[in-house]
Structure 1
Amino acid sequence: MTPVTNSATGSGTADGTPNAGALAKGSARTAGVTVRTVHDVAGIRAVADFFADVWQTPRATPPYPSELLHSLVHAGGAVHAAYSAGPSGERPAGAAVAVFGPPAERDVYSFVAAATASGRGVGFAVKQAQRLWALERGATTMRWTFDPLVGRNARFNLVKLGAVGSEYLVDFYGPMTDGVNNGDESDRLTVVWDLVSGTTREDDPAEDRPAAGVVCRAPDGGPLALRAADRLWCRVPEDVVALRTADPALALDWRHAVREVFTEAYAEGLRATAMSRDGWYLLTRPFPEEKE
């Protein structure tokens, strides 16, 4: 799979900042939102309420309290929010939080990100605003984690943004009690996003997925992993969030099955580099410019 440079980031200064700014503005315009950093108490509280709604927790006990978000901003991080206009005024449609991580002058850690308007491009607009903010402060990479069983997030991260899955983390947070993750184990995939190049991947790994080469079976009886030379494909459930509600035991079986494939593949040196539209990861050797 060949990384394709996004035309909006392929020229300009060495750090890509001017074109990152154009992409951030354009993606917000396309999504029909206004994205800005949030500093005030009321604005940060609204973002905390937004996260509570997304993670299905009471607003009185949000997964990311406003006090915590305010402290992260005070420490040099940033809260970005995407606002859509409605009859009662602006309301958050997406939000993200970023902090600097080691090495502080180069790497940014995206603490959390979410969008409610799926398919409208709000999430992309928020990530591009984060990217611009990070580049303006000298960062070159951004890292974050996500649930590897959520295929739509995998496709967004690995294909739409062009990030690469750098490590597989087993039960990273331990037990979680929010309305989305409750009852499951919290495996996470860390991705690294090259902020300077702004690469995306245009081809779909389903196009060259082999018809044979089944390595193991999934909990639903179908193929879970396929192997061809130095490439591995791994399938995830169509909607793990719905599956957790309908059949928690089956969802946990999927967790353990995918975990086994990924931990063995990562021990071998393979990395998640793409996700097909029909729910298959592609794991390959890292791109030549990446270092182990």
Structure 2
Amino acid sequence: MSPSLTLAAVTEQAQGAARVAAESAGVRVSDENSLAGFLEIEALFNRVWLLPPGESAIPSELLRSISHAGCNVTAARDPAGRLVGAAAAIVTPQSTSMYSLIAGVLPGISDRGVGFALKQHQRAWGLARDLTEMTWTFDPLVSRNARFNLTKLGAYASGYAVDFYGPMQGEMNANDESDRLVAVWPLTSDESAACSEDRPIAVERPDFAPNDVLKLGPDGDPVLVAADGDLWCRVPADIVALRGQNPQLAAEWRRSIRSIFTDIFASGHIARGVSRDGWYRLPPGGTA
């Protein structure tokens, strides 16, 4: 947060940015507190994660408890009132951080900005309660989500959790190990404020020479390079499709990226953005 801005001013900025994001996405974003709404959200999440009948990404009873405890359950609805996205986050007493449990958008509309509107609502919700940070985990192999988290929102990652949830079921995860990056989103930072107004820092992998390549990926192409003072790491374009087509190759990617990230983070680098073509930017810790 800029020294000249108070938390109240940042909160006002966040609220305005959240309204603009919702309008741009063509949705109404609000806190959900009804049982009927929680049931809809449970069904939406199960559809997003392609779960079989009888399994649930997060039960409606738990969503109700989260809301009743004073934590965040957010719903995004289109002009017809149809639920098109949702998110949930919890708060630890005496903490200035909130933890995002889950967020998802109806399949087929992921390019409309609904997910961005949900997160901006959560940012404003947290700041209004004197919360200045949000954390969550995400699969480092899913480049689309990684770019959304680290480039579009302005979060960063410096922690790697091996098999965080254990083997994951469902068509989307295809029994893959659940390695996760730990995202940290500083809600008051100048970068997060700029991102909330759709002014993210551009992340483009620079050109590199053969001697800049530090490691090849499972597909035989460069996966880790050093260029312009930063490290850059590539992940597959579509790991979900790869899991279905070639589970063995997907597993090789998991092991390769696990080794790279754990070594890179141990050396003091952090993940500060992802390019459109799936390259993580990994500068030394503490740099922009």
Per the normalisation by structure 1, the TM-score is 0.89
Distance 1:245 1:288, change over 3 A: closer
Q: Which residue of 1 aligns with 2:223?
A: 224
Q: Which residue of 1 aligns with 2:7?
A: 14
Aligned with 1:205: secondary structure? coil
Task: Give the letter aligned to residue 276 of structure 2.
Answer: R
Q: Which residue of 2 aligns with 1:71?
A: 65
Give the alignment of 1:56-205 within 5 angstroms.
56-58=50-52, 60-85=54-79, 89-101=80-92, 104-116=94-106, 117-197=109-189, 198-199=192-193, 200=195, 201-205=200-204
Task: Give the letter aligned to residue 139 of structure 1.
Answer: L
Shift, 1:221, TM fit: 0.8
Aligned with 2:13: secondary structure? helix
Deviations 1:114-137 (A, max 9, x none): 123211111100000001111111
- Give the gaps of 5 or more residues in structure 2: none
Task: Give the letter aligned to residue 113 of structure 1.
Answer: A
User: 2: CA distance between counterparts of 1:235 and 1:192?
Assistant: 21
**% identity of equivalent residues:** 46
User: 2: CA distance between counterparts of 1:217 and 1:30?
Assistant: 41
Give the superposed CA RMSD. 2.0
Q: Which residue of 1 aligns with 2:261?
A: 262
Aligned with 1:272: secondary structure? coil
Q: Quick check: 1:171–1:187 contact (8 Å CA) kept in 2?
A: yes
Shift, 1:228, TM fit: 3.8
Distance 1:80 1:146, change over 3 A: same
Q: Quick check: 2:52–2:170 contact (8 Å CA) kept in 1?
A: no
User: 2: CA distance between counterparts of 1:10 and 1:242?
Assistant: 46
Aligned length: 277
> Are 1:210 and 2:208 an aligned pair?
yes
Q: Which residue of 2 aligns with 1:238?
A: 237
Q: Which residue of 1 aligns with 2:22?
A: 28
User: 1: CA distance between counterparts of 2:24 and 2:100?
Assistant: 23
Q: Quick check: 2:33–2:73 contact (8 Å CA) kept in 1?
A: yes
Task: Give the letter aligned to residue 23 of structure 2.
Answer: R
Shift, 1:286, TM fit: 2.6
1:43 to 19, 37, 40: 37
Task: Give the letter aligned to residue 211 of structure 1.
Answer: A
Task: Give the letter aligned to residue 11 of structure 2.
Answer: T
User: 2: CA distance between counterparts of 1:172 and 1:21?
Assistant: 33
Shift, 1:92, TM fit: 1.6
User: 1: CA distance between counterparts of 2:13 and 2:4?
Assistant: 7
Bigger mean CA offset, 274-283 vs 197-206: 197-206
Distance 1:254 1:72, change over 3 A: same
Aligned with 1:90: secondary structure? coil
Q: Quick check: 1:184–1:252 contact (8 Å CA) kept in 2?
A: yes
Shift, 1:14, TM fit: 2.7
User: 2: CA distance between counterparts of 1:271 and 1:150?
Assistant: 18
User: 1: CA distance between counterparts of 2:209 and 2:102?
Assistant: 37
Task: Give the letter aligned to residue 120 of structure 1.
Answer: R
User: 1: CA distance between counterparts of 2:72 and 2:13?
Assistant: 21
Shift, 1:12, TM fit: 6.2
Shift, 1:210, TM fit: 2.2
Q: Quick check: 1:131–1:195 contact (8 Å CA) kept in 2?
A: yes
Q: Quick check: 2:7–2:127 contact (8 Å CA) kept in 1?
A: no
Deviations 1:130-159 (A, max 9, x none): 011111111000001110001111111111
Distance 1:209 1:75, change over 3 A: farther
Bigger mean CA offset, 68-77 vs 126-135: 68-77
- Give the gaps of 5 or more residues in structure 1: none
